[in-house]
């Protein structure tokens, strides 16, 4: 199994030099005292917990898995104890309001910790990770009484949370859901129905689980306009906050899955369970987007974790594994063969993983920075811009990073050859765990429709322009910088084309709406490659500044420049293929009659 080592120096580079987080925190209420030293201290403690507590449980948790018995779920050995340490250290409360027991620190610090715990042990990290979505939903839409009852123990980590959306006949089409909510005389609701694919829906790590559930009121209109949102606790709560009797919600079974065996994916049966309305009636899906957007950024982190974890394992192996000689002559003549890291194709795979890990880290931390400003910023104009940028980048981060995370995990197996296909080395677990990431919280296709259809075309391109203007300003600022031309020139060209090609698709979609669906996934991947190019250009400039200042870490910064050049030369050209595909039209997909798909 790969030995996880937190990428401390690279996290510092992104936080301090690319995104200048300490300066950013000065504009965020609650972040005024967060300087570079505090960021590093929080990272170091999170890294120790990830390396020493979570990583050793990763392979054993996968092998043991969760077990179900008569409605109860037991997590793998060590998971419960690790969660107790996590709570005792105060990690659940890091980014929540002090009046509700939180430490009040910016949420982007939590994203950094999510990377550390997620790369060390993704299945374990999902238990507290989903609680953050529940907390954000309650904070945004709950009544004061609901916050006092449910938010405080969630912030403390004594309870955990889930999101209960889909049903067996629904999939992504939540307008088809059938779960019912019947009003009761005491103001509560009786919730009846079955939800599937509920991550962490039942477990033994916390004393209560707060389910956030979509259901229909008796007089609700059909479709998504008739969905309401409810709090349904596993154990009912008395007025004084103490636990009462078990509620009418039970785990019917846990799914036998391809990966993330250490996390319980549950079928949850609501048999007249007592629930409480969150937000306005029939506006549940609107409220649930608070949870879903939190979860989508969280899932983007999984793409980063897959790339980073697989890269670490493959790099260590490539330095040690001896096989064949370098094409230009022996590199290690004293040995029977050269280490495989000398071979160009192995380097291609390693550098692809490295670029996707480092690019993904910049993207998800940038999204977290925008989230800080959107939620806590004091400047109304800055908040508005951050909201627009975050709306655009959320589907890109979720889908692009998980697709490239799966690619990176597969490359890890390829670097190992046959040894990667067996369990002993742990690389195949990364593939199995990562594969779900492109599916849950909205598939790549759903994210792509959200990006192109809702975020770009339905805003007449306003959301896209908010981002392309940022890229334009960066390119203009460095237009006369000779050292930056290898990055700025292609980036500026792509940035202009992005708007032009979007307009072409929009014009075609006015005549045929299938043009949006036909172009969407390629459009999202095209957008992802350009977005990462922007961030690698910023990283290159940061590296150049450090080298010009005669840093003592010249090798580190030269490697940053090398990775940026590799990305622009080897990975960014993929945007051209996606461009050609997205502009090719819907006819090459839609004109074949369904009956002619037969073989």
Taking only the tens place, the pLDDT of each residue in 60-107 is 999 999 999 999 999 999 999 999 999 999 999 998 888 888 899 999
Give the residue numbers annotated as catalytic, written as ranges: 441
Task: Report pTM.
Answer: 0.96
Using the predicted structure, report yes or no on whether residue 535 has a pLDDT greater than 80. Answer: yes
Residue whose structure tokens are 């980036």: 491
Q: What whole-number distance in Å separates Cα of residue 447 and Cα of residue 454?
A: 10
441 against 235, higher pLDDT: 235
Range with the poorest average pLDDT among 163-172, 495-504, 550-559: 163-172
Q: What whole-number distance in Å separates Cα of residue 441 and Cα of residue 171?
A: 11
Mean pLDDT of 238-244: 94
Range with the poorest average pLDDT among 192-201, 266-275, 370-379, 572-581: 370-379
Percentage above 90 pLDDT, the chain: 89
Using the predicted structure, report yes or no on whether residue 481 has a pLDDT greater than 70. Answer: yes
The CB-based long-range contact list for 29-32 (8 Å cut-off, 24+ gap) reads 29/376, 29/378, 30/104, 30/105, 30/106, 30/376, 31/105, 31/106, 31/372, 31/376
Mean pLDDT of 399-411: 98
Burial 303-323 (b: 16+ CB within 10 A, else e): bbbbbbbbbbbbbebbeebee
pLDDT for residue 515: 97
> How does pLDDT run across 261-304, given as a tens digit for each residue?
999 999 999 999 999 999 999 998 888 877 778 888 999 999 99
Looking at every residue in the chain, the average pLDDT score rounds to 95
> How does pLDDT run across 152-202, given as a tens digit for each residue?
999 999 999 999 999 999 888 888 899 999 999 999 999 999 999 999 999
| 101 phi-psi bin (left φ>0, alpha ψ -120 to 50, beta other) | left
pLDDT for residue 101: 82
> How does pLDDT run across 307-334, given as a tens digit for each residue?
999 999 999 999 999 999 999 999 999 9
The three-state (H, E, C) secondary structure of 140-195, written as one string: HHCCHHHHHHHHHHHHHCCEEEEEECCCCCCCCCHHHCCCEEEECCCCCEEEEEEE
Mean pLDDT of 488-506: 98
pLDDT for residue 1: 63
Q: What whole-number distance in Å separates Cα of residue 254 and Cα of residue 201?
A: 9
Mean pLDDT of 569-576: 98
């Amino acid at each position: 199994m790969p030995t996880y080592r937190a990428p401390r120096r690279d996290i510092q580079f992104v936080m301090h030099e690319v995104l200048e987080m300490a300066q950013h925190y000065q504009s965020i209420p609650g972040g005024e005292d967060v300087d570079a030293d505090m960021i590093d201290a929080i990272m170091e403690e999170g890294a120790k917990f990830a390396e020493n507590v979570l990583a050793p449980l990763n392979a054993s948790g996968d092998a043991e898995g969760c077990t179900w018995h008569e409605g109860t779920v037991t997590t793998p050995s060590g998971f419960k104890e690790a969660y107790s340490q996590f709570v005792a250290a105060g990690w659940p409360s890091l980014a929540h309001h002090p009046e509700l027991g939180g430490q009040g620190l910016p949420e982007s610090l939590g994203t950094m910790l999510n990377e550390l715990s997620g790369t060390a042990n993704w299945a374990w990290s999902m238990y507290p990770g989903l609680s953050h979505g529940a907390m954000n939903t309650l904070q945004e839409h709950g009544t004061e009484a609901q916050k006092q009852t449910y938010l405080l123990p969630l912030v403390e980590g004594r309870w955990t949370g889930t999101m209960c959306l889909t049903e067996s006949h629904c999939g992504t089409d939540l307008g088809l859901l059938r779960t019912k909510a019947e009003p009761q005389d005491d103001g509560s609701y009786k919730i009846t129905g079955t939800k599937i694919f509920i991550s962490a829906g039942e477990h033994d790590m916390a004393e209560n689980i707060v389910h956030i559930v979509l259901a229909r009121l008796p007089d609700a209109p059909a479709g998504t306009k008739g969905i309401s949102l409810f709090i349904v606790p596993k154990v009912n709560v008395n007025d004084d906050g103490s636990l009462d009797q078990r509620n009418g919600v039970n785990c019917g079974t846990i799914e036998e899955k391809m990966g993330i065996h250490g996390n319980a994916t549950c079928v949850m049966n609501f048999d007249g369970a007592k629930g409480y309305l969150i937000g306005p009636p029939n506006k549940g899906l609107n409220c649930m987007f608070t949870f879903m957007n939190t979860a989508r950024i969280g899932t983007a982190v999984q793409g980063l974790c897959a790339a980073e974890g697989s890269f670490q394992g493959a790099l260590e192996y490539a330095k040690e594994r001896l096989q064949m000689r370098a094409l230009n002559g022996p590199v290690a003549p004293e040995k029977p063969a050269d280490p495989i890291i000398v071979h160009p194709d192995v380097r291609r795979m390693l550098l692809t993983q490295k670029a996707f890990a480092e690019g993904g880290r910049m993207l998800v931390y940038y999204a977290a920075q925008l989230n800080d400003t959107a939620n806590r910023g004091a400047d109304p104009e800055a908040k508005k811009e951050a909201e627009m940028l975050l709306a655009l980048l959320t589907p890109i981060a979720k889908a692009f990073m998980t697709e490239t995370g799966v690619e990176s995990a597969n490359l890890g197996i390829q670097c190992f050859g046959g040894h990667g296909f067996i369990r002993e080395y742990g690389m195949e677990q990364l593939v199995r765990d990562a594969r779900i990431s492109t599916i849950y919280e909205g598939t790549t296709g759903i994210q792509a429709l959200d990006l192109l259809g809702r975020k770009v075309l339905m805003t007449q391109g306003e959301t896209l322009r908010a981002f392309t203007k940022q890229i334009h300003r960066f390119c203009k600022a460095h237009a006369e910088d000779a050292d930056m031309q290898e990055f700025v020139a292609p980036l500026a060209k792509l940035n202009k084309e992005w708007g032009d090609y979007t307009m072409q698709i929009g014009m075609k979609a006015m005549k045929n709406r299938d043009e949006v669906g036909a172009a969407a996934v390629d459009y999202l991947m095209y957008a992802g490659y350009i977005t990462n190019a922007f961030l690698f250009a910023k990283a290159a400039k940061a590296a150049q500044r450090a080298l010009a200042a005669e840093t003592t870490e010249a090798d580190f910064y030269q490697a940053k420049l090398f990775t940026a050049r590799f990305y622009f030369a080897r990975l960014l050209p993929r945007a051209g293929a996606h461009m050609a595909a997205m502009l090719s039209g819907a006819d090459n997909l839609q004109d074949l009659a369904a009956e002619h798909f037969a073989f």
